[in-house]
Amino acid sequence: MATIPGVLGPIDTAELGFTLMHEHVLIANWAMRQSFADYVDVPRFVDAAAAELRGAREHGVRSMVDLTPINLGRDIHVIRAVAERSGVQIVAATGFYWTEEPWMEAWDHDTLLRYLLRDIGEGIQGTAIRAGIIKCATDRHGVTDLNRKILEISARAHRRTGVPISTHTSVAHHTGLAQQDVFEREGVDLSRVVIGHCGDSVDLDYLEKILRRGSTIGMDRFGVDVILPTKQRVDTIVELCKRGYAGQMVLSHDASCHIDWFPREVIRKAVPNWNFLHISDDVVPALREGGVPEAQIRQMTVDNPRRIFERQGAY
Ligand SMILES: [Zn+2]
């Protein structure tokens, strides 16, 4: 039996079940929350978020990876409360986002690495809840000097602990390949890495380049139709399954119960399918209709998440 750290204690990987590999409970700026107590009404938020995740559970979701990095307002107390009250198993992340902040320049590799190792080895924010995955991100600016440092410490934390890496990329800038280059130089086995947001692309050439190097790709923004509609996201997966890559894809929405980047009404109007039910309700049936065999759907939703977490050493 293999276990991984869940927010409510160890999770037997055999019990992960249908797993959404890239979601967020809460994204809200820490400085705003610290300065203005009502910036997030936590009790109200936890009520609403728990109800939303209970809904996802009723539609088959057993586990969810919360890929919120430290500097997007990751709050382990809120994540734990939502896990407790929803019955969805949640795995929390450590790591830093792609946005560059002055303090990041100040600290060298080892100093920043120590924080990631503390999250993984001891627990997050003074709790005993350990991070089960390492998040890092490279966006439109590509691998800058500072971004390289963040990718390198993520790689080193992975190599020290065996905890898998899952990333944010910009498909327009092909940053998935650039991330793989950095990880490879750091000696990372690329099959332990999920290159995220690949589902935003219909460029099969780009996606196959990533896949041929062994990584899993995150088809993980279902419902964000303003970037790419569901139909095209599904067609890409159908084609990649035909080409033999079902064992290297995972599905998710990159949705949040609350994100302070957009007013809720705007989200509801612009991207009505951007919620935790879209894959269960719409995407899986569409994949079936596209001819993806049941066994491959299971691979993408159950077996691949399990394998990504399972293949790690003791830590
Ligand atoms: Zn995300």
Q: Ligand 1 center to residue 255 CA distance, Å?
A: 7
Q: Ligand 1 center to residue 70 CA distance, Å?
A: 12
Q: Ligand 1 center to residue 292 CA distance, Å?
A: 26
Q: Which pLDDT does position 312 carry in this prediction?
A: 59
Q: Which pLDDT does position 314 carry in this prediction?
A: 39
Q: Ligand 1 center to residue 256 CA distance, Å?
A: 8
Q: Ligand 1 center to residue 104 CA distance, Å?
A: 20
Q: pTM score, two decimals?
A: 0.97
- pLDDT average per 10 residues of sequence, the chain (315 residues): 94 97 98 97 98 98 98 98 98 97 94 98 98 98 98 98 97 98 98 98 98 98 97 98 98 97 93 97 98 98 96 51
- Around ion ligand 1, residues with a beta carbon closer than 5 Å are 254
Q: Ligand 1 center to residue 137 CA distance, Å?
A: 9
C-alpha closest to that of 309 among 9, 48, 91: 91
Q: Which pLDDT does position 315 carry in this prediction?
A: 38
C-alpha closest to that of 133 among 161, 108, 113, 110: 161
Q: Ligand 1 center to residue 275 CA distance, Å?
A: 13
Q: How far apart are CA 191 and CA 248, in angstroms?
A: 9
Q: Ligand 1 center to residue 68 CA distance, Å?
A: 6
Q: Ligand 1 center to residue 31 CA distance, Å?
A: 20
Q: Which pLDDT does position 174 carry in this prediction?
A: 97
